[in-house]
Structure formats: structure tokens, C-alpha cells
Structure 1
Amino acid sequence: MMRMSSLQALHQNMRQIGIETQRFEVRVGAAEFACLFSVAANPYCLALTTRGQHPQFCRFDVRPGYIISNYLGENYGPLRDALYVDGRAGEGLEGARFLAQLNDVIPHVAQQGRILQPEEIVRVHPNVDDADRPYFDRWERRGQGPTERNLQKTRIILGDDARTFSETNRVSSIWSQLPTNRAWR
């Protein structure tokens, strides 16, 4: 297990400016990564997408205490390919070493303009209902009010205030496949 102190510092700064998601770029070894950090659901999520001709996607659950497992699992192959690391050519890829290097380059300061777009959020959170419809469209009264899954999607994409609004007013969020440029308020 690796404690990611940089994610903790970044999250503290994100709270100060009132955001739940942050996008940033880092370089580890020979690879550049576009990163997405989201605290909109438990566990928190850190997603890395390699930059270059053949992008690879890796997702890490961030547990309480900003802990990420050293075991790379299905992330091993994409990371090995991105880092040009192979057991026959010098140093092999080790989870603890990679995460320590990553921790060293994650920014500690969030930037307001680097928040995630809805289509990025649903990619990072695979359990979101109707992931093909990431754009808020409108509120609608349906039956007994919003389902738990609808509330979860509302919170993940729009935040706690929108979820509270949905619950309090017993309205469901309706989503679109196409950008609507509509705010929830």
C-alpha cells in the first residue's frame, strides 16, 4: 500500500476552492500522463491516460488515508508499455516504485479551470447509470422521486448541492447524449 501525500495536498486545495474533480498532466520516466482525480464518489479515483500514439487507460481506487494498492493488476500491462519498461531491459515495473514516482510529480495546488467535463467524469466512474448520457438536460418529476442510482449520478457529475436539490424537491435529473450547456440551477 502506498500513501499518496500529494493527492491529500491536492484534495485539501480542491476543497478550498470548492471543486471535486481536477485534471493535470505529469511525466513519470519516459511517459506522459493526462490525469483525472475525482473525489465525487467513494472510493476516490485517480485515472491516468498515457499520451501518445497508442493511449492506455489506468484507473486506481484511492482509499481512505489517500492509499493506493501497490498491486497494479490490470494496470500493469498498459503502464509497462507506456514506461518502456520490461523485465529483460533493466529495471522491471514495481507498483511501489511507480506510485512513489507518481506521488513526487502530482501537483499540490488545484486550478479552477482544470475541472472535469461530464464525459470525463463518467469515464472515470464506471458505475454511473447511463454513462452514454453524461450531460445534464433538466429536472423531471417521476413516480416516487429520484432513484438511488439517479441520485448517485447527480452527485458524481453535478455535486452534493444538486443531489440535495433533487432529493428535497423529489425530482430526477434527466441526461442527454449531447452537450446541452444547461446548468442545474
Structure 2
Amino acid sequence: MKLNGLKGLFKSMKHQAIERYKFDFIYQNVKFDVLYFIDEVPNILAFGIKQHNYYFEIPVRKEFEITAFLDEYNKFCKIMGFTYNPDSPYKPAYFFEEFNKHIPNIAIQTNIPKPSQVAVYRDKVEEADKIYFIKWRDNTKTGKNVSLKNLEKTRLLLSYDAYLMCKAKNISSCWSSLPSEENQFSLPY
């Protein structure tokens, strides 16, 4: 299935050098947080519903092609309030067809997600309670090496570019569990 609605958003994000974007999508009166990651290959569309602890990711291939598949399909149907009808079963393509009609064309800077907003859904990371980015630590100065778990957390919560830079320069991302300690993320140069 092709999500042509992503073309405008992708172009706008590229033009503004935005790698990750967050917007809302309401389907059948249920609000989804949608995250679009264009820093990853393939690109990723992520859908989450905080109140139901439900989250899934869809790879977006070239020409905005996706596979119309829903992780935990039964849980999705339960959240949506769908009942099984053998004569007319619900198809995930219905969800994506409707989503395609509601993708924003223009990216705005205020919708760039903070790492803590991404962490709400990508919680299978090192020290999952620490989701507020603080700073960078140069491990070369201390004679240590960045851990694989920290590199993965950096990739999942910050960006693929941050992951590559940290890996190449032996830098760790540092995190806190306190929102008051959160600092603006920018790549370590």
C-alpha cells in the first residue's frame, strides 16, 4: 500500500532539516500519537495510544510504500471497539487509508518531539526510567568506551545521526529521570 499523503510532509521535513516529527491522528474517536522518523532507513511511522499502552511501528519504504499490517491486531480491534463479523472482517488497510487522508502537508517546528516524548513509546532501552536528555560525555577522556546499550538508546530516542556520531567518537548520551534536568538536544561536534 502507498501512503501518498506522506510526500508533502516528507518534503517539508527535509526542507526544514527536521528528522523526527509528531502529530495527532483521530480514528473512530480514538486519538493516536503519530511519530514519523525520516532519519532511519527505512523511514518509520510509529503509532501510539498512551492510555491503552499500545504502540506499533510501520517501516516506510521507497515511494512511501508500507505493508498494511497491525501488531497485536486483536488488541487494536478491542481498543477500537470493533466486534468480529465473519461476513465483513476489519482490514488494517481501512485504518491506513483513513490515516493517509489526514497526514499534514507542512511540518512545523513546534511538533518536533523531545526525546522524552519518543521514550514514552520506545521504552525498551537502557535505564528506561531515565528519559530526559542531559548532556554528552566524551568517554575518551576517561579511558572508557560507550556501551552498545547506550548507543541503541541514543539511536532510538535521539536520532540515527547522533548514534553514528557517538559510535565514531566514543561519546555517551547522558540521561535523567527528572524533567527539570532536561536539556535541549543537539548533535555533539
TM-score range, shorter chain: 0.7 to 0.9
The superposition leaves residues 62-108 of structure 1 with CA deviations (integer Å, 9 ceiling, x where unpaired) of 2422333223241x233323433223498532012221111111212
Q: Indicate conservation of the 8 Å contact 2:55/2:121, yes or no.
A: no
Write the distance in 1 (CA, Å) between the matches of 2:59 and 2:161: 23
2:96: which partner in 1? 99
Q: Indicate conservation of the 8 Å contact 2:125/2:152, yes or no.
A: yes
Instruction: Choose which of 59, 69, 72 in structure 2 pairs with 1:71.
Output: 69
Q: 1:161 to 1:79 in 2, by over 3 A?
A: closer
2:4: which partner in 1? 5
Q: Indicate conservation of the 8 Å contact 1:56/1:82, yes or no.
A: no
The superposition leaves residues 123-160 of structure 1 with CA deviations (integer Å, 9 ceiling, x where unpaired) of 34355333322222233325443234433433443335
1:182: which partner in 2? 183
What runs of 5+ residues in structure 1 fail to find an aligned partner? none
Q: Secondary structure at the match of 2:97?
A: helix
1:39: which partner in 2? 38
Displacement of 1:114: 1.0
Q: Indicate conservation of the 8 Å contact 1:70/1:99, yes or no.
A: yes
Q: Indicate conservation of the 8 Å contact 1:45/1:124, yes or no.
A: no
The superposition leaves residues 8-67 of structure 1 with CA deviations (integer Å, 9 ceiling, x where unpaired) of 43222212212222221222334332322223444433233348xx53523122242233
1:28: which partner in 2? 27
* TM-score w.r.t. length of structure 2: 0.74
1:136: which partner in 2? 133
Superposition CA RMSD, Å = 3.0
Letter in 1 for 2:70: L
1:159: which partner in 2? 159
Q: Indicate conservation of the 8 Å contact 1:30/1:84, yes or no.
A: no
What runs of 5+ residues in structure 2 fail to find an aligned partner? none
Write the distance in 2 (CA, Å) between the matches of 1:68 and 1:123: 24
Q: Indicate conservation of the 8 Å contact 2:56/2:71, yes or no.
A: no
Write the distance in 2 (CA, Å) between the matches of 1:169 and 1:71: 38
2:81: which partner in 1? 84
Write the distance in 1 (CA, Å) between the matches of 2:32 and 2:45: 12
Q: 1:56 to 1:14 in 2, by over 3 A?
A: same
* TM-score w.r.t. length of structure 1: 0.76
Displacement of 1:162: 4.1
